[in-house]
Structure 1
Amino acid sequence: MNDAVPASEVAWQALPERSRALFLLAGGLPMLVLGTAAGAGLGLVLGTVFEDTDRALLVAIGAVALALLAGGLGTWLGAKQYSHTRWLLDAHGLAVRRGRLWHRETRVPLTRVQHLDVKRGPLQRRRDLATLVVHTAGTANSAVAVPNLDAGDAEHLREQLGRQIDRDDD
């Protein structure tokens, strides 16, 4: 773990391996539900077109097929999101980098940090993970979240950024 040091001496940090499952779940579960509903709807439509086929069978086949397809796609996207999320703390502030095809890098300068939260849901607590939320100066909804960090890293980042806020207030 790096304290606030010059950017040239700091490497981008990956999320811990144990957070991968939460990204897979967050990507796959909603798509699984959506795929099930869409497949059932497709089965109903096909049941009206093919009147001589059992409608319940078409609904079941459509629901299972699209659920598997959409759930697999969501899980794959969750894996990509996990593998392409990095964070960095340097002398200028906190930065979060996401994405491979569409890169998104968010930098929060130390001078813009207003307050910091560490959130831990039940699945995160089970895996010793946390989400760091950095609230910034600006509109009421200005915040940057770094999900599924190691809980120790999240606490350390909060302390480091908090010390800087305290120094700026003096």
Structure 2
Amino acid sequence: MREQPKNNIAHDAVKAWRITASIYMGGLFLLIIVGAVLSYIFEITYLYVGIAIVIWVLFLFVFVHLIPKLRYRRWRYEIFEQEVYIQHGILVVTRTIIPMIRVQHVDTEQGPILKRYKLATVSISTAATTHEIPALDEEDASTIRDRISVLARVDEDDV
């Protein structure tokens, strides 16, 4: 079996993923509040609200604290002359090899949370799908995008 890729994504990815998960968990908490208000208005037992809050606290721990750390530990990538090698996953580790000859275009993406931490995601598009290397430093993302772009150029004689 092939060795795992050597390069890690930026450590600030954990912070960005935690903020994103917190936003989703905040939305879920608002739904619980709405359920509590409806329980009060229609005089339904608060047992379901209590169960929902316990589940919410469990989800909060798992999705905000646990998963971002595990996700960061598993994300690896490496750029070779002929291929891009990506590894990710928490329970099921996926290792993907993208041949340079199949790369159609490469993009960098940056949302507001990634921008706050000066991170960007590199998207590698092939005819079949798009692969991402998330949460890289802005400079690293630009360098990787340009390098893959140069390596993916193929003369018509080579095809």
Does the CA-based 8 Å contact 1:16-1:150 persist in structure 2? yes
What is the CA–CA distance in structure 2 between the aligned matches of 1:132 and 1:158, rounded to whole Å? 7
How far does residue 159 in structure 1 lie from its aligned partner after superposition?
1.1
What is the CA–CA distance in structure 2 between the aligned matches of 1:85 and 1:26, rounded to whole Å? 18
Residues 104-161 of structure 1 deviation map (CA, whole Å, 9 limit, x = unaligned): 11221100000111111222222121010111123xxx11111111111111111111
Structure-2 residue corresponding to 1:48: 44
What is the CA–CA distance in structure 2 between the aligned matches of 1:168 and 1:39, rounded to whole Å? 60
Q: Which runs of 5+ in 2 are unaligned?
A: none
Q: Aligned partner of 1:48: which letter?
A: I
What TM-score do the two structures reach when normalised by structure 2?
0.77
Does the CA-based 8 Å contact 1:97-1:105 persist in structure 2? yes
What is the CA–CA distance in structure 1 between the aligned matches of 2:130 and 2:5, rounded to whole Å? 23
Sequence identity (%)? 22
Q: Which runs of 5+ in 1 are unaligned?
A: 1-6
Structure-2 residue corresponding to 1:21: 15
What is the CA–CA distance in structure 2 between the aligned matches of 1:151 and 1:168, rounded to whole Å? 30
Whether 2:136 is the aligned partner of 1:136: answer: no
Aligned positions of 1:15-164 closer than 5 A: 15-34=9-28, 37=31, 41=35, 48-49=44-45, 59=49, 64-75=53-64, 76-138=66-128, 142-164=129-151
What TM-score do the two structures reach when normalised by structure 1?
0.72
C-alpha RMSD over aligned residues: 3.1
- Single out whichever of 97-106 and 113-122 deviates more from structure 2: 97-106
Residues 19-58 of structure 1 deviation map (CA, whole Å, 9 limit, x = unaligned): 21012223343245335535864896796347xxxx9xx8
Does the CA-based 8 Å contact 2:121-2:134 persist in structure 1? yes
